Chain A
Amino acid sequence: MAFGPFLLLALMEGLVTAAVLALTALGLSLVFGVMRVVNVAHGAFFMLGAVGAWFVTEWVGNPPALGFALALVICPLAVGAIAALANGLVLKRLNYDPEATIVATIGLLYIFQQMALTLYGPDARPVPAPFSFRVQLPWFGYSGYKLAVIGAAAVVLAGVWLVLNRSKIGLVMRATQIDREMAQAFGINVDRVYAGVFAMGAGLAAVAAVLIVPIQQAHYLMGGDPLLLSFIVVIIGGLGSLRGTLVAALLIGLSDGVISVFFSPTLAKIIATLLVALVLVFRPQGLFGRQVTR
């Protein structure tokens, strides 16, 4: 294949990665930004969303589009509910202590993995795509569903942006993020905000997972990579910056794919990884963020 189309393919693949990554990272960014909780279980929420999608589509059967649509509604709600429960039972009692919550979310991660392993099993299982058509470009064919994922992610991201910037909920969240005590003094129920934010963060991960699962299959250990990449995206993008999260997701999604055009894939991964590190070394606050402190 000629270089041009090759690059085009790498870019398209990078966009799909970036779209899903942006959703997942946004969930993490909300939790991290508003609650100051390093949620190690975020990848596990992603995994629960994917595994949930498998159960829903199995249960509905045909047509696959119906099952998928239901999964897209049910899974984020269910995962969000689980997250709110975990928040109330554990994180709140820890008073959101940054160090204790790391241990606690590692504990949650183990619990969710065992739940998936016991109830769902160790296999990677496919979920049928709601539709399948192939877009035939002059040089290669491409999955139409993947293009739809990019679109769907964009819609969800736009929705979140509206909520955060144009609604009272967003205002309350931002107020809590900036100054928790002050928000409380103004009559904001911080407990409810935290529960909502934690649920929303997990729900966003679940949305991303449901979108990706027809491409990638559900597996009980699938949460590791999304967790790592989301962290990187959140920090590179700068905390509390939706725009930064988006740009960083694009940067991470595309760099990996495009660099692998020039180098052997593993070497490309190494270079991309070091590039990310160097970006932070020379711009520690991230690309768009304010100065971040622990």
Chain B
Amino acid sequence: MNGQPLKPWLAPLALIGLLAVMGFVLPAYHHNNMARILVLAVFAMGYNIAFGYTGLLSLGHALFFGAGLYAAGLAINQGGVTAGLALGLGLLAGGGVALATGVLALRTAGVSFMIVTLMFAQAGYLLLLYFGAFTGGDEGFVVARTGRVLGGFDLTTDGPRYGLALGLFTLAILGQTAIVRAPFGRVMVAMRENSARAQMLGFDPFRTKLIVLVISGLYSGVAGAAYGILFGYVGASFAAIQYSILPLLWVLLGGSGTVLGPFLGVFIMFYLIDLSSSYTSAHLMVVGVALLVLVLFAPRGILGGLRKRWGTWLA
């Protein structure tokens, strides 16, 4: 009779159901957009786990996204692997790079952590350019069509693409919910709220944060790999500083430390740019003003603001 343990799962499950229905009714353009949004939302959730729940303000997540993107793309084009294996490689690349970054960067905290992650990501970006003969440099490369087939489904067609994006998104959002509901999730929040106190209670902050960063890297890496496989292009712009700032913006906009916030943030940002560029040539202005209005109305992010008003079931 006690529905309490189910409650946190209601909102994500409802969203997944809605998105599944959307997959059948959306017109072609928005169908493709939504597939992109879902993949980027996985990336945003990875960021949310690190920043929203654990307080790790990283400016280097483009490195993890890029690691997954390039691992998958290069494995397909140079190694001729299948899409499934490429996704797995992207996942591992994101997690592995996050582990290596974390071992060094987590010796710092706060703003220093920001800058160290930023620097590592910048070095990663420049390495992509430096080894341009291999990576295609800033131009990037087109992912071979042979690597864009999964289990007989052609991922260059709308249905399977949406299906895989939604599948990943489902795993990611349920995984995120499970993590933050588990005892480990409480340790994460404790790290965010008061790292010293959590340490006194016997939790090792370094170890906890490292695990969190690796999980975050796994999310980012698989999102990068999926982006390359689903949309067919790998390029250095995805590893540039912009893709470190975007997940921060998405998470803050949607509501950091909320389950649905990352998705909402990506969704709003995407359509802000898309719609405003349809109606005015000065669309940067519209986006800027909209961000100001949103943040003035809901400084804790949209879901953060709603949660404050209407209770916690949303989060």
A–B contact via C-beta, under 8 angstroms: yes
Counting CB contacts under 8 A, is A285 at the interface? yes
Contact with A along B100-140 (1 / 0, CB 8 A): 00001101111110111011101100110110000000000
Is A104's CB within 8 Å of the partner chain B? Answer: yes
Interface pair A294/B57, CB less than 8 Å apart: yes
Q: Which residues of B contact A286 (CB under 8 A)?
A: 112
Task: Specify which chain A residues have a CB less than 8 angstroms from the CB of B253 in the assembled complex.
Answer: 103
The secondary-structure label for the interface of chain B is helix
Per a CB cutoff under 8 Å, which of B114, B289, B295 touches A100?
B295
A-B contact count (CB 8 A): 139
Known: A114-B282, A280-B112, A281-B108. A108 touches B288 (CB 8 A): yes
Contacting A at CB under 8 A, from B243-273, are 245, 248-249, 252-253, 256
Q: What is the 8 Å Cβ interface bit string for chain A, positions 273-284, against chain B (1 contact, 0 not)?
A: 110111011101
- B295 lies within 8 A of A292 (CB): no
**Min CB distance, A236 to chain B, in Å?**
8
Known A-B contacts A235-B115, A280-B115; A100 and B249 likewise in contact (beta carbons under 8 Å): no
**For the complex, is B17 an interface residue (Cβ under 8 Å from A)?**
no
Within 8 Å of chain A (Cβ to Cβ): is B73?
no
Q: Are A294 and B55 in contact (CB under 8 A)?
A: yes
A117 vs B288: C-alpha distance when bound (angstroms): 14
Name A75-96 residues within 8 Å CB distance of B. Answer: 90, 93-95
Chain B residues closer than 8 Å to A106, beta-carbon distance: 245, 249, 291
Is A114 a contact partner of B288 (Cβ separation < 8 A)?
A: yes
Point out the residues of chain B lying under 8 angstroms from A235, CB to CB: 111-112, 114-115
- Known A104-B291, A111-B289, A270-B123; judge A284-B282 contact (CB<8 A): no
Cβ contacts under 8 Å, B57 to chain A: 294
Contacts of A232 in B (CB 8 A): 115, 118-119
Q: In the complex, are the beta carbons of B118 and A228 less than 8 A apart? A: yes
* Chain A residues with CB below 8 A from B107, complex form: 281-282, 284
How many interface residues does A have (CB within 8 Å)? 50
Q: Which of A102, A231, A273, A292 contacts B252 (CB 8 A)?
A: A102
B312 shortest CB reach to chain A, Å = 19
The CA-CA distance from A103 to B295 in the complex, in Å, is: 7
Report chain B residues within 8 Å CB of A269.
126
B98 to chain A, nearest CB (A): 15
B28 to chain A, nearest CB (A): 29
Q: How far is the CB of B97 from chain A (nearest CB, A)?
A: 14
B285 touches which of A111, A236, A270, A278 (Cβ 8 Å): A111
Interface residue? B287 (CB, 8 A): yes
CA distance A53 to B84 in the complex (A): 55
Residue of A nearest to B105 (CB): A281
Q: A273-B122, A276-B119, A277-B119 are in contact. Are A104 and B292 (CB under 8 A)?
A: yes
Chain B proximity of A30: nearest CB distance (Å): 15
* A residues near B104, Cβ cutoff 8 Å: 277-278, 281
Residues of B contacting A99 with CB < 8 Å? 252, 256, 299-300
Closest to B192 in A: A294
Complex CA–CA separation, A292 to B113 (angstroms): 10
Tally of B interface residues using CB under 8 Å: 44
Partner of A266, one of B130, B282, B290: B130
CB neighbors of A among B176-214 (8 A) = none
Closest-by-CB residue of B relative to A277 is: B119
Task: Flag if B288 contacts A292 (CB, 8 Å).
Answer: no
Min CB–CB distance A63 → chain B (angstroms): 36
Report the bound CA distance from A163 to B57 in whole Å: 33
**Beta-carbon contact of A277 and B120 below 8 Å:** yes
Residues of chain B with a CB closer than 8 A to A111's CB: 284-285, 288-289, 292
Whether A167 sits at the interface, judged by CB under 8 Å, is: no
Q: A residues within 8 A CB of B127?
A: 270
Query: What residues of chain B lie closer than 8 Å to A62, measured between beta carbons?
Result: none
Residue B14 interfacial (CB < 8 Å): no
Whether the Cβ atoms of B108 and A90 lie closer than 8 Å is no
**Contact yes or no, A231 B288, CB < 8 A:** no
Cβ of B55: which chain A residues have Cβ within 8 Å of it?
294
Residue A267, interface by CB 8 Å: yes
Question: Complex formed: what's the CA distance from A276 to B105 in Å?
Answer: 12
Nearest-CB residue, chain B, relative to A282: B107
The answer to whether residues A114 and B284 also contact, given A102-B248, A107-B292, A282-B107 and a CB cut-off of 8 A, is: yes
Selected from A90, A228, A267, A292, the residue in CB contact (under 8 A) with B296 is A90
Separation of A236 and B287 alpha carbons in the complex (Å)? 33
**Chain B residues with CB under 8 A of A100:** 252, 295, 299-300
Q: Is A39 an interface residue (CB 8 A)?
A: no
**Which of A107, A270, A278 lies at the interface centre, i.e. has the most chain B CB atoms within 10 A of its CB?**
A107
User: Which A25-69 residues have C-beta < 8 A from chain B?
Assistant: 32, 38, 40
Whether the pair A103, B118 counts as a contact (CB closer than 8 A) is no
B285 touches A292 (CB 8 A): no
Residues of B within 8 A of A40 (CB): 245
Given contacts A100-B300, A235-B111, A270-B127, contact A110 B120 (CB under 8 A): no
Q: Could you write out 26 A-B pairs with CB less than 8 Å apart?
A: A90-B295, A95-B299, A97-B300, A99-B256, A100-B299, A100-B300, A102-B252, A103-B249, A107-B287, A107-B289, A107-B291, A110-B288, A114-B283, A114-B284, A114-B285, A117-B284, A224-B241, A232-B118, A235-B111, A273-B122, A274-B123, A276-B115, A280-B108, A284-B112, A294-B55, A294-B110
Chain B residues engaging chain A, CB cutoff 8 angstroms: 55, 57, 104-105, 107-112, 114-116, 118-120, 122-123, 126-127, 129-130, 241, 245, 248-249, 252-253, 256, 282-285, 287-292, 294-296, 299-300
What are the 6 closest A-B residue pairs judged by CB atoms, nearest first? A110-B288, A107-B291, A111-B288, A100-B299, A294-B110, A277-B119
